[in-house]
Structure 1
Amino acid sequence: MHCHVGLTRANDTFFCLEKHIKLRPDTFLSSFLPQVTHHTKSTYKSQWLAVRQKRRKLQEDYLQTLPFSDFKAFNSVLKSIPKQSQLQVGNSSAIRYTQLFQLTKSIDVFCNRGTSGIDGSTSTAIGAAVASDKRTTLVTGDLSFFYDSNALWNNYIPKTFRIIVINNEGGGIFRILPGDKNTENFDRFFETKHHLTAKQLSEMYGFEYVVAKNEKELDLQLESFYKGARKPKLLEIFTPSRLNDKILLDFFKYIK
């Protein structure tokens, strides 16, 4: 059932509008709330907490079976984010992977939605790093990072600022959609395949550059990545583009 409370037009967004109550919300609630102050016993919360706990356990089991991939890289990266810090997340795949994992509540998480999705993520993260007293880490995909690389061209980036680029050589998010993959048209017009790296950009803009191409290298780099340095750092993680979509889709099947 859908009842809309308000003086103006009632939009039937869910196609089940039954009543338009033409009152100010505060007027309506002042009369409505005293009539519904009783509490109904419900198992709703406990049931969904049990589902969440079960799926978290399944997620841990699933991670043990995986080769190195986006999924495994995000698991390691997000566990490494310093407490009491600020996490800026790039759009598209980056934020979709991030929401699958637990983060400590002391970390402030932000994601910037640009006009075309990926644009502006790096600019927003650097602006936030300059304005905030908290150390800031940006976790972003390769297309989003390269698209907004001019954000690195300024003189105010804190030395504590960290960028982690997940480089799977294209817009991996499109590979999870139905349709033909691994074709020339798909690579060119949907995934935007490339063989770029962030190494030269890091050198040009004065970032310390480190790289990881497997799980062992990633764990090793993360051990020292957040330690003090004379300049900001960038960690580029290379993952296999042709495995990531299957691993992600199989994960949802596994926990179902």
Structure 2
Amino acid sequence: HHWHINNKKAYDTFFSLSKHIKTDENWFFENLFKQRSEVQSNYFSKWDEVKQKYESRRKTYLSEIPFTDFLAFQTICSGIPKNYQLHLANSSTVRYAQLFDLDPSLKVYCNRGTSGIDGSTSTAIGSSIHSVNPTLLITGDLSFFYDSNGLWNSYKRNDLRIVVINNGGGGIFRILPGMENSQNFETYFETVQDLELQKLCALFNINHLEAVDKKTLNTALSTFYLPSNSPVLLEVKTPRLLNDKILLTYFDFIS
């Protein structure tokens, strides 16, 4: 059943509307809740078992794969300090992050919904200024370079942390089906780049750390969140031509 509940027009967006209930939403749910009755069901136990199997398979998969975006995100997401404000950039970033558990104390934000990399860095820095807690931005190389002017201000807090997953281009276009085999794919879709993040960090007075495998990533993360006299950026370099294969194989593996 698909019900639309409010006093105004009911838009049948998914062409499956079965009833338009013309009343106040709060009144409807308050009265619906009063009429509830408990039933015996194995719904939770059934899907919890599915979840447990999925998590077990994911753990096995992580132990078998080489260092790629997938493994980097798992390592990063599992080590974010409590109560941080977390900003996730478009587009691979938020897709990867939703595959892993995040601490419930984190406040998570993402410019998602309009499909684009516009302003992810600017949004994170602007938000960090008004946050009581420190801010972490996880972003990709193209998103970061695209909005690098967001670093050009005098308001960056010393507890700002940025992780740039640098896979040398727009890795999302290798994951999504379409033009990956076309002649112009690397130039106009993936936008392959070899820019030096360290120089950009020097320009904006940001400490630069680098990781190229799991060992160096763990080493960098051990000091990444410590107090500092300027913002810190961690550049995580991953293999451009392998990331998509590891991610797509993962979905086959857990199924």
Shift of 1:134: 0.5
1:151 maps to 150
How much has 1:179 moved relative to structure 2? 3.6
Change (3 A) 1:32 1:163: closer
1:137-178 CA deviation, whole Å, 9 max, x = no partner?
Answer: 111011110111001011111111111100011111111122
- Structure 2 counterpart of 1:74, one-letter code: F
Q: Return the offset for 1:116.
A: 5.1
Q: What is the TM-score with the length of structure 1 in the denominator?
A: 0.92
Query: Which residue of 1 is the match for residue 127 of structure 2?
Result: 128
CA distance in 2, matches of 1:113, 1:178: 20
- The aligned counterpart of 1:71 is 70
Separation in 2, partners of 1:231, 1:26:
48
Measured after TM superposition, the shift of residue 10 of structure 1 is 1.8
Give how far 1:21 is off. 3.1
CA distance in 2, matches of 1:66, 1:135: 32
The aligned residue for residue 12 of structure 2 is 12
User: Post-superposition shift, 1:53?
Assistant: 1.5
Q: Distance in 2 between the 1:137 and 1:26 partners?
A: 36
**Using a 3 Å threshold, how does the CA distance of structure 1 residues 182 and 235 change in structure 2: closer, same or farther?**
farther
Tell me, yes or no, if the aligned pair for 2:173 and 2:180 is still in contact at 8 Å: no
| Secondary structure at 1:42 match in 2 | coil
1:164–1:49 distance in 2 versus 1, CA, 3 Å? same
1:30-179 paired onto structure 2 within 5 Å: 32-34=32-34, 36-113=35-112, 115=114, 117-179=116-178
- Tell me if structure 2 keeps the 8 A contact 1:114–1:121: no
Counterparts of 1:181-192 in structure 2, within 5 Å, are 181=180, 183-192=182-191
AA paired with 1:42? S
Extract unaligned runs of 5+ from structure 1.
Answer: none
Is the 8 Å Cα contact of residues 114 and 120 (structure 1) preserved in structure 2?
no
Q: Which runs of 5+ in 2 are unaligned?
A: none
% identical equivalent positions: 49
Deviations 1:53-74 (A, max 9, x none): 1111111100011111000111
Distance 1:82 1:31, change over 3 A: closer
Local SS of the residue matching 1:237: strand
Q: 1: distance between equivalents of 2:117 and 2:185?
A: 19
Give me the whole-angstrom Cα distance separating, in 2, the residues matched to 1:99 and 1:146.
23
Question: For the residues of structure 1 that align with 2:90 and 2:130, how far apart are their CA atoms?
Answer: 21
* TM-score, normalisation: structure 2: 0.93
* Contact 1:121 1:144 survives alignment (8 Å): yes
Partner Cα separation in structure 2 for residue 66 and residue 129 of structure 1: 35
1:197 Cα deviation (Å)? 2.6
**Letter aligned with residue 58 of structure 2:** Q
Q: Aligned with 2:8: secondary structure?
A: coil
What's the CA shift for 1:224?
1.1
Q: Report how many aligned residue pairs link the two structures.
A: 255
Task: Show the counterpart of 1:205.
Answer: 204
Q: 1-side partners of 2:30 and 2:163: how far apart?
A: 50
State the SS of the aligned residue for 2:18: strand
Tell whether the 8 Å contact from 2:91 to 2:115 is kept in structure 1 after alignment.
no
